[in-house]
Chains A and B, each alone.
Chain A
Amino acid sequence: MKKRIATFIIVVLVAVGIMAWSTPGLLKSVRLGLDLKGGFEILYEATPLEKGQAVTQESLTRTAQSLEKRANALGTSEPEVTTEGTNRIRVKIAGVTNEAEVREKMKEPASLTFRSAYGCKAPAENAQPKDKYCKVELVGSDFVENGASVGYDQLNRPVIDIKVKDKKKFAEVTKRLVGQNLAIFLDDTMLSDPTVQSELTDGKAQITGNYTLDEAKQLSDTINLGALPLKLTEKYSQSVGATLGKQSLEKTLQAGIIASIVILIFMIAMYRLPGVIASFGLIVHTWLLILVFVWANFTLTLPGIAAFILGVGMAVDANIITNERIREEIRNGRSVMSAVKAGNKSSLRTILDSNITTIIVGTVMYAFGQGSVKGFALILIIEIVLSILTNVYFTHYLLSLLVKAGLLKKTKQFGVKESEINAL
């Protein structure tokens, strides 16, 4: 008997110890979503650069990677770039001060093209370079990604070296254009229009101009960042100011803490000592949830916190079902010991059936939802699984320990009056 009390105390103390020790660190490492710390989110739809091409999973992934690099190069912290479905990319960047600049660069990828006047109508006087060179010979995706680098020409002036993927194609283009100009454009700006001296077979080209070293570096960076395999259009955007995000976080946390306290008080008032155990289970449940968050590196968003708090409310259900069942068994004339045993056993089936149906709904939400719906569903599912672990197995275990130890033997401790018990 004493052994069980000791086990109970050890289990509780160890759990409290671990939670008290780890919680401050855990709370700090929870990654906050941009709606809680400010930042912006953009959903892009990707289309092929050239008509007739398809958006492949590979090109989508490569575009996402380039976007991430681009975001990193712009000095943002922890950009989150994910692909969605077959042709979407979601970009989340938190804590940005120069939002406009970042967004502009992200949105309008610099696209490098080589153009010629091959087969064009004779240009009018004073025609813009982009009108003069009407034929696009090579596009961004023809160049080796990250292939641009700064080099020097014979006069030690900085130049930008670029590499072409398909040497044959480049050879064909240069052969055809010998003696003519091959203009290099970044978007609609002409960088230079050197004359093709001879056929180039090594797939290498050089952009010359009177660049300073810094300018050349910047240009090569832009070209590298600009070599996106796909064209992007903004479909959805959300931008949250840092103060607004912080306020939302504080208010929602405050709401959560108040609600949790009320729920715990309610449980203890209703179910006495078993209520205390249930409350303890709920606290362990919340701690585990935070732990999963940190370990899996999930991002906590506002709907996420809502799911979190709601889940606590629903986790209480498991405890209520168990305790009501135990009360019922006691009223039917069972001894406390056998009532707890029977109550734990039959409530388990009820809880499993009802929670599995909720998991079904959660899974569908996760599969079909986007953005915040997905996050919400994920938390809901994790919470239900954790709730079964803590509020069913763990609390049932603690309760049986106490009963077996003889600390819980009066029906009054379960809130059942003697007069309510039906003699069999």
Chain B
Amino acid sequence: MHFKKEFNFVKMSKTAFIFSIVLTIAGIISLAAFGLNYSVDFRAGSNVDVKLSKNVTIAEVQPLLDEMGIGKDASITPGDKRMNIRFTTELSSNQADQLKTEIQKLDKTASFEINTVDPEMAKELGRNAIYSVLLSCIGIIIYVSIRFEWRFAVAAIIALLHDAFIVVAIFSIFRLEVSQTFIVAVLTIIGYSINDTIVIFDRIRENMRFGKQKTREDLTNLLNHSVNQMLMRSLYTAFTVFIAAFFLFLFAGESIKMFSLAMCIGLVFGAYSSIFIASPLWLFLKFKQKPKGKAVKPSKA
């Protein structure tokens, strides 16, 4: 595939900016009002996943839990040949054992996954994730500023924070569960997003060497041309990585389903932001520099 016609991405980016801003505001509101639907990774308590050979109803399990005295703290979500029970308190290993024995009375072949987390640990997980994002940003700013220029770094950082935030926002709006693997997904999205953006920036950098861009129009044309040149690559790569994440979402184990979903959403936004957010932002920053003339060094940043 090869497009003869060149798209005017700079023009389209205005709509994209409005879309992103609206989504971001919706995300902020949702986060402020409802927060995130944290899994036990972030909340103290225990999570029990049971794989069964037949379907077991809440009515069968609830009395067992009540009998053990842990019924009040439990919320049961049955699924197709599986069941999830979440406790707001930590199960002791004796209780966990007792629970296993009781459920195995209902279904002999039941297989369990039990996670227990201390609230302190959970807080630490979240804190580390935020540190990771901030530190990654600093690393990227340094590297991109050395290899490119600071404007590229700033534009790329805004785009990647946008991608990470949109995924968090969508998970908040749709009440999807946020676990430890979600952090991994967001961090990977950041890695992918920056990767995708840099490839486009690399082309802009290359094209800038060929000619002197004197006017705003020159710069706009340069940007449009560069993005168009990289368009097929952006689409193909986003498609292949999306395929990988999408099949994981469809078929892979329960515990990485949400991870794959976050990846799928993040990949789409990662490709989108490289074209419609990062590139126009760089142009915007570059415009600010231009009127001063090329004789003035852009030192006061």
Contact = CB atoms under 8 A, between A and B. Distances in A.
Nearest to A420: B2
B268 to A, nearest CB: 13
A242 B246 CA distance: 26
Given A317-B240, A324-B233, A303 B112 contact: no
Interface stretch (B72-80, B134-142, B283-291): B134-142
Contacts of B181: 303, 306, 372
Nearest to A85: B124
A313 B241 contact: yes
A74 to B, nearest CB: 15
Interface stretch (B26-34, B56-64, B248-256): B248-256
Contact of B255 (A243, A302, A317): A302
Interface stretch (A166-174, A183-191, A199-207, A249-257): A249-257
B202 A349 contact: yes
A360 B245 contact: no
A248 B136 contact: no
B144 A328 contact: no
B218 to A, nearest CB: 21
Contacts of A252: 248, 251-253, 256
Interface in B102-144: 109-118, 120-121, 124-125, 128-129, 131-132, 135-136, 139-140, 143-144
A354 B195 contact: yes
Nearest to B190: A361
Chain A residues touching B, range: 35 or more
Contact of B120 (A235, A242, A243, A376): A235
A22 interface: no
Contact of A357 (B135, B194, B248): B194
A259 B247 contact: yes
Given A243-B111, A354-B202, A104 B93 contact: yes
Given A317-B195, A317-B241, A358-B191, A239 B114 contact: yes
Nearest to B127: A368
A236 B112 CA distance: 16
A341 B241 CA distance: 27
B195 A355 contact: yes
Contacts of B250: 255
Chain B residues touching A, range: 35 or more
Contact of A251 (B97, B121, B246, B253): B253
A263 B253 CA distance: 21
B147 interface: yes
A237 interface: yes
Contacts of B136: 360-361, 364-365
B260 interface: yes
Contacts of A368: 128-129, 131-132, 135
Interface string A146-185: 0000000000000000000000000000000000000000
Interface in B227-281: 229-230, 232-233, 236-237, 239-248, 250-256, 259-260, 263
A370 interface: yes
B256 A306 contact: yes
Interface in B176-218: 180-181, 183-184, 187-188, 190-192, 194-196, 198-199, 202-203, 206
Interface in A339-389: 346, 349-350, 353-358, 360-365, 367-373, 376-377, 380
A217 to B, nearest CB: 27
Interface string A86-106: 000000000000011001100
The listed residue with most B CB atoms (<10 A of its CB), out of A100, A258, A327, A368, is A368
Lowest 5 A-B CB distances belong to which pairs? Answer: A241-B111, A248-B253, A313-B244, A243-B111, A313-B241
Interface of B: 2, 49, 51, 93-94, 96-97, 109-118, 120-121, 124-125, 128-129, 131-132, 135-136, 139-140, 143-144, 147, 180-181, 183-184, 187-188, 190-192, 194-196, 198-199, 202-203, 206, 229-230, 232-233, 236-237, 239-248, 250-256, 259-260, 263
22 contacts: A100-B93, A234-B116, A236-B121, A238-B116, A239-B113, A240-B113, A243-B109, A244-B51, A248-B253, A302-B253, A303-B259, A306-B181, A314-B192, A321-B199, A354-B198, A354-B202, A364-B135, A365-B136, A371-B180, A372-B184, A373-B180, A377-B187
Given A255-B251, A354-B194, A365-B187, 13 more contacts: A241-B111, A247-B51, A252-B256, A255-B247, A267-B240, A302-B255, A313-B240, A317-B195, A317-B240, A321-B233, A356-B143, A360-B136, A416-B2
